[in-house]
Chain A
Amino acid sequence: MIHFDSVTKEYPRRGAALRDVDFRVRKGEFVFLTGHSGSGKSTTLRLLHFADRPTRGEIRVAGFSSSRTTERDIWKVRRRVGIVFQDFRLLPGRTAQENVAFALEVTGTPRDTITPRAQRLLSQVGLGAKAGAMVNELSGGEQQRVAIARALANQPEVLLADEPTGNLDERATRGIVDIFRELNALGMAVVMATHDLDLVRSDSRTRVLELDQGELVYDSAAADDDDAPGRTGTMPQPGAERGSVGAAASMEGEESEELLDHEGAAD
């Protein structure tokens, strides 16, 4: 589903935002991507959404390769990979329904099916009753739900979320994460960047990837598997050392030894 093979991302005149990062995410997996501010979480998600290209290394998402997908074809990636952000990025002055319908309309959905589909997507995120409300009048949690409904418009295989609960209170945060879990249960891979350690610790079954200054310093899946000579295995418990998530999240993982390649031949 997701291959991040020796990926380095450098910005001009700014060292590397990501350094030789390697990980894979399987179909239907749920991953928390953590790390301090500036550690490279957003960069990782941008690369996964093909908003940027790696300087070195290869990325594959939903069957699309970073080295072979042309700019012209990026729209295909975007329909297979949904994304939401901390700031929601909804269109103001429009209703929840209109925001979701917009995504359907601009991606060529037949006109007569747009309204019922938008309604169904909003119901899926628990906002069926507020479809007609202006997004500016919704609470933060509700706005993020609209954004999720919009990201689901083209039934993506992967959902990326960049600090989606960064602006939300605890209750709203739980609501959003619950929606992610439901979607994940339906088979969607979810990669959620967050520095909310309480959240990450709250569910020890969820896989955790931790970045630090552009390097992948912890992978709960690799840490579980003592036989795997993964880079993280040799690390002196970096997460725990810095009071991070490592220890808490690694206890009960159930990642298998082999990461299967589930990619379709989409390109």
Chain B
Amino acid sequence: MYALREAVAAFRRAPVLTGLAAGMVGLALFVLGLFGLVTHNLQTTLDAVEERVEVVAYLREGTTDGEVDAALDELRALPEVRTVIYVTKTQALENARAELPEFEEVFSDLDVNPLPASLEIELEEGFRNEETVTVVSEHAAAYPFVEDVAYGREWVDKLFSLRRIAGVAAGVLGAAFAVVAALIIGTALRIAIFARREEIHVMRLVGAKDGFIRRPFVIEGAMAGALGALVAVVLTWATWRAVSTLILEIDWIPVGWIGVGLAIGVVFGMLASSLAVRRHLREVT
């Protein structure tokens, strides 16, 4: 009760500095919010692409049915593999005609079918990642009758590296803002402590517990953190609106992530203020 009242009073006593501290926490978390937007939307795209991640093994001319059957059995037995579909030369041509109607003429004019037979290897959910794709591709490529192996890995790789870059950039920028935020919180609390040094002195004289003396300042830090987190949510939301209307339709981040962001803001504010308060309270006798 006392602590909350004092924290609010401190907020009012130094609104500029506390506002600045909250603003910095806001910027740090805004960067995190942007990263959240990018990550979430990349993830959505990745999921869609992943659906289609499969390994296609093109077979040489003259591969026998016996060889194909043996390979089918062996590949289907792999734990990463959901199913394997054998696409004959004829089916390949039909598929091509169906999928590319504008080339209908080209295909019908041919007297030899140029398309190879293939094995389409679908992967189990959860195995549609780089490693499994590589392992399964190598497995398929080892058959002497397999001419070539193709997969959508380049795409997947690109998206993954994009996400990594976004992550590193957000990490560096966010950390920089967080450091500045911590410094400003420290300064704000130092001023708050200085303003209340007489009270702190009296509290110590009469036997108030250290935790009791620290509490209002830690609450002030938590309030600055929470306020900053709200600022970050607003900024992120505005950015999302702008991008969605001006550039391309993207998803809003999951609500749970916003909760995590708020929690991070509050915890960060509390930690930064606890450290600052411990240090600066020592300066008051």
Q: What number of A-B contacts does a CB cutoff of 8 Å give?
A: 51
Chain B residues, CB < 8 A from A83: 205
Q: Tell me the B195-224 residues at the A interface (CB within 8 Å).
A: 198-199, 201-210, 212-213
A106 to B1, CA, bound (A): 11
**Is A31 among interface residues, defined by CB-CB distance under 8 A?**
no
* A94, chain B: closest CB distance, angstroms: 10
In the bound assembly, the distance between CA atoms of A72 and B208 in angstroms comes to: 11
Output the nearest chain A residue to B208 by Cβ-Cβ distance: A106
- Contact present for A89 and B205 (CB under 8 Å): yes
Contact residue range for chain A?
20 to 34
Interface string of B246-285 (1 = CB under 8 A from A): 0000000000000000000000000000000000000001
Contact flag A75-B210 (CB < 8 Å), given A105-B2, A106-B2: yes
Chain B contacts of A103 at CB under 8 A? 202, 206
Which single residue of chain A is at the shortest CB-CB distance from B199? A91
Question: Which chain A residues border B201 with CB–CB below 8 Å?
Answer: 89
Does A205 interact with chain B (Cβ within 8 Å)? no
- Shortest CB-to-CB span from B218 to chain A, Å, is 16
- Mark the stretch among A147-155, A186-194, A209-217 that contacts chain B: A147-155
**A107 touching B207, Cβ below 8 Å:** yes
Q: Which of B1, B2, B199, B209 contacts A75 (CB 8 A)?
A: B209
Query: How far apart sit A91 and B205, CA to CA, in the bound complex (Å)?
Result: 13
Report the minimum CB–CB distance from B202 to chain A (whole Å).
Answer: 6
Give complex CA distance A105, B203 in Å.
Answer: 10
Q: Is A79 an interface residue (CB 8 A)?
A: yes
**Cα(A92)–Cα(B198), bound, Å:** 9
7 additional A-B pairs beyond A76-B207, A77-B207, A78-B207, beta carbons within 8 Å, are A82-B206, A89-B202, A102-B202, A106-B203, A106-B206, A151-B206, A154-B207
- Give 9 nearest A-B pairs by CB, closest first: A78-B207, A79-B207, A106-B208, A103-B206, A75-B207, A106-B203, A75-B209, A107-B207, A107-B208
| Overall SS of chain A's interface | helix
Write out the residue numbers on chain B whose beta carbons fall within 8 Å of the beta carbon of A78. 204-207
Whether A107 and B206, one on each chain, are in contact in the complex, defined by CB atoms closer than 8 angstroms, is yes
Complex Cα distance, B202 from A91, in Å, reads 8
Chain B 1-26: CB-based contact to A (< 8 A → 1; otherwise 0):
11000000000000000000000000
Chain B residues near A77 (CB-CB < 8 A) = 207
Measured between alpha carbons, how far is A91 from B196 in the docked complex, in Å? 10
Task: Output the least CB separation between B203 and chain A (Å).
Answer: 5
Interface residues of A in 87-120 (CB under 8 A from B): 89, 91-92, 102-103, 105-108, 111
Q: Once the chains are docked, how many angstroms separate the CA of A151 from the CA of B205?
A: 8
> Once the chains bind, are B202 and A79 in contact (CB under 8 Å)?
no
Partner of B198, one of A91, A108, A111: A91
Bound CA span A153–B205, Å: 11
**Chain B: minimal CB distance from A115 (Å):** 15
Chain A residues positioned under 8 Å from B203 (CB to CB): 106
Q: Is the CB of A150 within 8 A of B206?
A: yes
**A108 CA to B206 CA, complexed, in Å:** 11
Contacts of A92 in B (CB 8 A): 198
Least CB distance, B263 to chain A, in whole angstroms: 29
Closest to B196 in A: A91
Please, which residue of chain A has its CB at the minimum distance from the CB of B209? A75
Give chain A interface residues in 59-93, CB to chain B under 8 Å: 71-72, 75-79, 82-83, 89, 91-92
Quick one: which of B135-192 are within 8 Å of A by CB?
A: none
Q: Are A79 and B199 in contact (CB under 8 A)?
A: no
Report the minimal beta-carbon distance from A104 to chain B, rounded to whole angstroms.
Answer: 9
Cα distance A211–B201 when bound, in Å? Answer: 28
Complex formed: what's the CA distance from A153 to B202 in Å? 12
Q: Which residues of B contact A107 (CB under 8 A)?
A: 206-208
B212 adjacent to A106 (CB under 8 Å): yes
Complex-state Cα separation, A153 to B2, whole angstroms: 18
- Contact residue among A51, A75, A82, A111 (Cβ-Cβ distance under 8 Å from B208): A75
Bound: A107/B209 CA distance, A? 7
User: CB-nearest residue of chain B relative to A102?
Assistant: B202
The residue from A71, A79, A111 contacting B206, defined by CB atoms under 8 A apart: A79
- Distance A71 CA – B206 CA, assembled complex (angstroms): 15
Chain B residues within an 8 Å CB radius of A105: 2
CA distance A150 to B204 in the complex (A): 13
Which residues on the B side are within 8 Å of A91 (C-beta)? 198-199, 202
